[in-house]
């Protein structure tokens, strides 16, 4: 399903704008924050999974795996957007 209209900018006037991302944040900062949030989710779900057994544990470990995959995707996008010495060296060895 395609969205026809973009999200309106955060006005700060209504009670529905509790959480809002500032419009002037650069893409690098957004990706870094997303990566750190996903890393935190990874740590939380891993710790929690080992407190349970059975099906619930499997669901937590599946959630943990999805967070790791998402973190890898965000990290790759960040490497493309803002190449570092490490990402350039890794790209050189992959060729």
Q: Which tokens is 24 given?
A: 């002037």
* Averaged pLDDT score across all residues of the chain: 86
Domain ranges of the chain: 35-81
pLDDT of residue 38: 96
Average pLDDT over residues 54-61: 96
CA distance 56 to 79: 35
CA distance 49 to 63: 10
pTM more than 0.75: no
CB 84 within 8 A of CB 48: no
Summarised one tens digit per residue, pLDDT across range 23-53 is: 899 999 999 999 999 999 999 999 999 999 9
């Amino acid at each position: 399903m395609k969205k026809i209209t973009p999200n309106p900018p955060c006005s700060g006037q209504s009670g529905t704008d509790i959480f809002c991302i500032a419009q002037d944040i650069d893409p690098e900062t957004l990706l870094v924050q997303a990566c750190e949030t996903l890393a935190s989710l990874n740590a939380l779900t891993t710790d929690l999974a080992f407190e349970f057994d059975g099906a619930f544990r499997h669901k937590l470990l599946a959630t943990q795996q999805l967070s790791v995959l998402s973190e890898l995707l965000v990290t790759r996008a960040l490497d493309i957007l803002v190449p570092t010495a490490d990402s350039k060296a890794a790209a050189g060895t992959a060729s």
